[in-house]
Amino acid sequence: MSTTVTKDQAVECSIVIPVYNEEANIQLMIPQLKAALDALGKSYEVIFVDDGSSDRTNELLTDAGQKYPEIKLITLRRNFGQTAAMSAGFDAAVGHVIIPMDGDLQNDPNDIPRLLEKIDEGYDVVSGWRKDRQDKYWSRRLPSNLANRLISVITDVHLHDYGCTLKAYRREVLQSIELYGEMHRFIPALASLIGVKVTEIPVNHRARTYGKSKYNISRTVRVILDLIVVKFLLSYSTRPIQIFGLLGLTSMLGACGLFFGVIYAKLRYDAMISNNSLFMLAAILLVLGCQFIGMGLLGEVIVRTYHEAQGKPTYVIARTLNLRPGYCPGKAHLL
């Protein structure tokens, strides 16, 4: 997300709601949202992103947008998935604070004021925690609990509920993050790369009454795969040789040890080398070690291309004082 917003376009908060075949929920949701947001006394916009719905979702949202100008609609050409839809909403949002939520009434709009309060206290990311989650145990709550623990340990950003869509972000935080795959649940972790203050508050969660969930248990596998990517980005994205090089050297060291062992066995006990499985293993480890180091070096080249092509510095500045006029590291990544 890298949009610039002029002062007269800006609003205080943007709600971003991806929807995919949620016709039965839309009609109920709009009055609930409006009531909660009007009561805030802040300027706001609600951006619905229709992620290729084939039911009456789009029609209903178009009607709502014609009635209320603060309701905006982006219609995607096909179903791109929740993360991509959310990204489309973030790119269009002009709020100082951006709040994504689900379009199936499972999140409660009445939690929005509490999220905003925390942002006003100085936090950059406020994450909702579905403390009393109303989903099935075996297919949802259990895998999600395990995934949450794992994500917490691996990313070092400690939250109870990464998967809760209802979160609040200061605009600048989202501005420095690009979302791929199913990454929306990792935004707080990715945001930690730029240095943010994160907190969480318990939020209300309601059972899905209308329409069907768009996911099944296979999501857990995708989350784990994304977690590997996030861990790599968090720890090694600017120095891939550190991880691949280490693997390569360890592998080569193992190969050397085995080679010596095999030669020693040959000299001492006249053991065969040609059909010795340890000799084969040593040869494999040696090749593997070279491959790892090669991968690390390629990674180093790619990282340089990534940062330099986009003018992205490898650091993020919070503020500056008395620097030369026009000083700008890379492309405006000033927070």
Instruction: List residues binding ligand UDP (CB under 6 A).
Output: 18-20, 22, 51, 79, 81-82, 85, 102-104, 106, 213-215
Of residues 165 and 175, the one with the C-beta less far from ligand UDP: 165
Least distance to ligand UDP, CB of residue 85, Å: 4
Query: Which tokens in the block code for residue 327?
Result: 């000083």
Of residues 104 and 200, the one with the C-beta less far from Mg ion: 104
Choose the binding region for Mg ion from 102-110, 233-241, 309-317, 324-332 (rule: CB under 5 A). Answer: 102-110
Single out the residue of 21, 2, 156 nearest to residue 102, CA to CA.
21
Do the strands 95-100 and 167-170 form a parallel or antiparallel pair, or are they unpaired?
antiparallel
- 22 sits near Mg ion (criterion: CB under 5 A): no
- 161 sits near Mg ion (criterion: CB under 5 A): no
Contact yes or no for 139/216 (Cβ under 8 A):
yes
Crossing angle of helices 277-309/240-269, nearest 10°?
170
How far is the first Cα of the chain from the last one, in angstroms, to the nearest whole number?
A: 14
Q: Which does 141 bind (CB under 5 to 8 A by kind): Mg ion, ligand UDP, none?
A: none
Query: Which tokens in the block code for residue 62?
Result: 């178009």
- 104 sits near Mg ion (criterion: CB under 5 A): yes
Residues facing 98 on adjacent strands: 14, 169
Q: Which of 14, 25, 82, 106 binds Mg ion (CB under 5 A)?
A: 106
Contact yes or no for 211/104 (Cβ under 8 A):
yes
Least distance to Mg ion, CB of residue 105, Å: 8
Of residues 212 and 319, the one with the C-beta less far from ligand UDP: 212
Contact yes or no for 254/286 (Cβ under 8 A):
no
Q: Which does 20 bind (CB under 5 to 8 A by kind): Mg ion, ligand UDP, none?
A: ligand UDP
| Binding region for Mg ion (CB under 5 A) | 102, 104, 106
